[in-house]
Amino acid sequence: MMKQLSITIFIFISFWACRQKNDDHAGTIVDLPVTFNEGFGPFGSSYSILVAEYTLDNPSGAGWVKTYLPVKGIPKAWKQVVKSMVLLDIRQLVYQNFHKGNIDSSMYQYLQKSWDWQPDANQLSKTPIRCYVYVVRGIDKSGKRAVMIDSNNNLDFADELPFYPEIASEKDTLRHYKKFYPVEYDVFREGKVMTSHVPMIIKYLPHKPANMNFYYSFPQYATTNINVSDEEYIIAVNLDFVAPFSGEVSELALIDKNQKAGKINLGHGIAKGEFIDIGVGKQKKRYKNLGFNAQKSVLQLQGEPLIAQSYSTQTGFLFKSFTGNEFSSGKLISLKDYKGKYLFIDFWGTWCKPCVEELPSLTRLHQNINKDQIAFLGIASHDNTESLRGFLKKKPVLWHQILSDSSNKIMETYNVEMFPSNFIIDPDGRIVAKNLHKEELENKLKELGCLN
């Protein structure tokens, strides 16, 4: 008996020693300095609508009106002029305007709660800085749609040249462009205000409604190097497409030494909180993506053990369980309730136009699914009870909904930062696909045998 026990102890110690050797980096946080590059790199293009400034008669936007600044130098011959404030760091803008008195305490507290944001005075400037860029557009004297960017950020367009934006087709994602415009802006780092620059592009989409037919993007990504087992690897970093310098999204992709990689669709990179495996064979190491730290201008990775049964929001990994109340009935729902069938989970919000625009196609799919094979579940995010109830009353959704709130923190559990985001979970709780939309989603459900 003692001999067998000794052997067992020896095997356990040997396994533990081997595990320690392979995972000696586990728990270690690595700061990797990044270099910024113009273009989208291996990532899909990200863009946003160039919206006009809100007015006081707009209930949902009136709180922002006092944050707007006067500009001058707009050509007098222009007609139908539209002015837009494009935000480079929305949290900095909110922070500085609250301390200036342009945002009241109720709005400030609401934004903190909805963003799950605790302002850090060490990383934000009370003194206003240029965390935005102004863009104006209109019809010039020749009758063409012209645009001007306040590229030097001095609130004066007299020293800027108007241009005619590139026209995007219905299938154009803004990834390809002929020209970009460098924009000057401010960042607050280590207690100091510093000047930086970012490329900006604007395109006109004639097939879109009048208030949604100008799109902008910041074609910039970062790269950094990491050494694993004496081999140098290059990691590409995709930054936030809405507020590109807040470091919220920070999707990653491994690229080769020639900085080439297959194109990665938006939302299919290695997101914040997910794992990146680097190296080959026994030398492979796993790291968790902690995101881009804007203050230090570094990508932060944390060493993790190589465990097959790890939870992550990546395809092939187990989906961490959740618990929440169904919005209409109040019934408690958890991932376990769907064991034995597929589950399509849609993270969306009533405030998110792409999310709302996608609902009709999801409804058509839901009408054709085999409900013995798959169920749909919506997670309403960055919303409140009143807005969700009002929306569902006007536009009923046929599948269960859970409101992600400060109690269940479902959205935060999965580090969801891009909307809409979705996952297909298999009967054993493992992710088989993510962020599929329209035809891609329908084809995947057909492949899985979930459509009638």
**Torsion angles phi and psi, residue 323, rounded to 5:** -140, 130
Q: What is the pLDDT of residues 345-370, one digit of tens each?
A: 999 999 888 899 999 999 999 999 99
Contact 421, 347 (CB under 8 A): yes
Confidence band, pLDDT 50/70/90 cuts, at residue 260: low
Terminal Cα distance for the chain, rounded: 60
Q: What letters, b where the CB count within 10 A reaches 16 and e where it falls short, cover 258-295?
A: eeeeeebebbbbbbbbbbbebeeeeeebbbbbbbbbbe
pLDDT in tens, 129-142: 999 999 999 999 99
pLDDT digits (tens, 9 = 90+) for 307-321: 767 788 899 899 999
Q: Are 324 and 404 in contact (CB under 8 A)?
A: yes
The β-bridge partners of 326 are: 402
Say how far residue 328 (Cα) sits from the centre of its chain.
28
Confidence of residue 172 (pLDDT cuts 50, 70, 90): confident
pLDDT at 15: 38
Residue 291 has pLDDT above 70, yes or no: yes
Secondary element (H or E) of residue 445? helix 438-447
From CA 410, how far away is CA 405, in angstroms rounded?
7
* Domains present along the chain, CATH in parentheses: 28-44+220-304 (no CATH), 48-217 (no CATH), 323-447 (3.40.30.10)
Per residue in 367-390, pLDDT (tens digit) is: 999 999 999 999 998 888 999 999
Mean pLDDT of the chain: 87
Give the H/E segment covering residue 371.
none
For 38-93, the pLDDT digits (tens) are 998 888 887 888 999 999 998 888 999 999 999 999 999 999 999 999 999 999 99
Helix or strand or coil: residue 365?
helix
pLDDT at 43: 86
Express each pLDDT in 92-102 by its tens digit.
999 999 999 99
Contact residues for 349 (Cβ-Cβ < 8 A; gap 6+): 355, 380, 381, 382, 383, 419
* Angstrom distance (rounded) from CA 226 to CA 33: 10
More confident residue, 186 or 116: 186
pTM equals 0.77
pLDDT at res. 240: 62
| E strand or H helix that includes residue 429 | none
- Tell me: pLDDT of 103 over 50: yes
Cα-Cα-Cα-Cα torsion 404, 407, 411, 415, nearest 10 degrees, comes to 170
